Structures are given as C-alpha cells and as structure tokens.
Structure 1
Amino acid sequence: MSMLLEEYQRLSGITGQMRDAAVGGEWDRLISLEQECKRKVEEIKPRDVVPSNPEERAQKIALLKKILADDADIRSRTESWMEQLQRIMQSNRSEQRLQQAYLVNS
C-alpha cells in the first residue's frame, strides 16, 4: 500500500472518531479532532495524486467516500447542536436586555 493511501486511512480514522464524538455529543473532543483532521489534510494536499494502479485508485475512492459520509453525518448532528446553542445565546441576550431595561427604569 502506498504512503498516500496510508495517509488517507489515517484521515478516515480521524473522521470516524469525529463522527463518534458527534454521536456522543462530545463537542470538545470533536473540536480537537477537527483540528487534527485539518492538519492531516494539509499534510496530504501537496502529495495528493490519482494513483495509477487501479486497485489503489479504487481504495482511495472508497476511503474518500467514507470520509465524505462521515462528514455528512457530523454536519447533520452538529447543525442541530448549533441551532440549540444559538437559541440559548438568543435567550441569554434577551434576558440581558430585560435586566438592563429594568436597571435603567429603576
């Protein structure tokens, strides 16, 4: 197996861990893994080529499909978390405005 495919396997492992963290609601772990994933992608980019060997090309495609599937699952899970976080923040802002209005009018 080529070094490039090994790097894609590592990347796939990271995205799998990211998916698991998102499933478990482990947001701090997800953020840490996301940073690791970004570093790995930056390492791969300069060396990324289409393998000439059909078997290796098929392996790379399978890994890319898994990475993309993990990404889609992570996004679907984090979108609901982000919406919930946004609602909490809006509620806090409303509460702060109400407190400020009360203090001004007291």
Structure 2
Amino acid sequence: MDLTFPAAVQNYEALSSLMGLMREAAASGQWDQLVALEKKCQERVQIMRQADARSSLEESERARKKALILKILADDASIRQNTQPWMEKLQWALRNTRQERKVRQAYTPSR
C-alpha cells in the first residue's frame, strides 16, 4: 500500500502544519508571528483552491483530507480562543482613544 498522498492532500498537510504553528503563536502571544503565519496560510489556501478543483481522491485520501480539515478547524477554534481577549483589549483601547480625542476636541478652545 502506497502511503504517499497526492498534492491535494499534501496541501492540507502543509496547511495543518501552518495552523499548528499559528495556534502555538496565539497561545504564547506572539502576534507578529501569528500575522506572518496567517499570510502564509492565505497563500496556501489559494494554491489549494486550484489543486482541489483538479483532483479526485481515493477513499483513504478523502479520509486523510477529512482528518486534516477537522484538525485545521480545531486549531482555528483554539487560535480564536487565544486571540479573542487580545482583540477585546485592543478594541477597548481604540474606543477609549477615540473618546478621549472627542472630549479633548470638545473642550479645547478654538484658536
């Protein structure tokens, strides 16, 4: 039995690896690394769209692809769980900055 998967499945393997790295970066608060990895994921997804349209898979290949998709979704959920508090803090800081600017503009005399 040949355990070498076609390019379509290998693309999912690569995306799964990238998502794992993104999950680790999010868990450790490495936001710049997370953004860089997200760009690589987007590039990989573009490649995958083209490859998926041209490929037909055997049953074992479809099963592997399904397992990879489930892992990718689990990693995505973990990434969101780790980034949500950071995003809320960022949104709070931006709102406060806007409000502070509006108050300053309202109470600063015109020259």
User: What band does the TM-score fall into relative to the shorter chain?
Assistant: 0.7 to 0.9
Does residue 24 (structure 1) correspond to residue 35 (structure 2)? The answer is no
Which residue identity is paired with 2:57? P
Contact preservation (8 Å) 2:15, 2:44: yes
Alignment partner of 1:94 out of 92, 99, 102: 99
| 1:1-106 pair list within 5 angstroms | 1=4, 2-48=6-52, 49-52=55-58, 54-104=59-109
1: CA distance, partners of 2:12 / 2:45: 9
What do the CA deviations read for 1:43-62 (whole angstroms, capped 9, x no partner)? 0111114512x222211111
Rounded Cα–Cα distance in structure 2 between residues aligned with 1:72 and 1:16: 11
Could you list the runs of 5+ residues in structure 2 that have no partner in the other structure? Answer: none
Letter in 2 for 1:66: K
Contact 2:23 2:79 (C-alpha < 8 Å) held by counterparts: yes
CA distance in 1, matches of 2:51, 2:68: 16
TM-score, structure 1 as length reference: 0.88
Gaps of 5+ in 1: none
- Figure out how many residues of one structure are paired with residues of the other and give that number: 105
Structure 2 Cα separation of the partners of residues 98 and 15 of structure 1:
42
Deviations 1:26-76 (A, max 9, x none): 111111111100000100111114512x22221111111101111111122
> CA separation in 2, counterparts of 1:11 and 1:91?
37
Shift of 1:9: 0.7
**1:93, CA displacement in angstroms?**
1.4
